[in-house]
Amino acid sequence: MRHTPPAGAALALAAVKALVLLVVIAMAFGFIGGDVEGDDTAGRQGPAPQLQAGSAVSQAIRAHDCSVAGFDREVEPRSALVRRQGKVRQVSFDDGWAVFTGDRPGELIALCLDDY
């Protein structure tokens, strides 16, 4: 038997998911976030480093089934990609959320379907 959460909890979860999606989209288009220090593609001409084919971020996005634009409402991310000290790392969704809220250092790059 499947447990259905209270309406308030379901609404709060939907609001959090929508907020995370908006932030990821804003980051993907460069509206927030930003420095590319420590990225091996910094200084090259072309698209933003996190979106260049072959970059560490692009490889991690493919390897962990991630999206910088988020997922459908029914899909729950299981992990996240963050940049800390110039390195891209896969972390738990909770750790990614803490980075997003500023409780932990780093930059949220993408949400992933792959388990951490």
Tokens (6 digits) for 77? 């991310």
Can you tell me the distance from the alpha carbon of 91 to that of 95, in angstroms, rounded to the nearest whole number? 6
At 2-29, the pLDDT tens digits run 777 788 888 888 888 888 877 777 777 6
> What residue segments make up the domains of the chain, in order of their start?
7-112
pLDDT of residue 90: 93
The pTM of the full predicted model, rounded to 2 decimals, is: 0.53
pLDDT-based confidence at residue 30 (cuts at 50, 70, 90): low
Cα–Cα distances in angstroms (integers) from residue 115 to residues 13, 46, 59, 61, 67, in the given order = 20, 32, 16, 13, 14
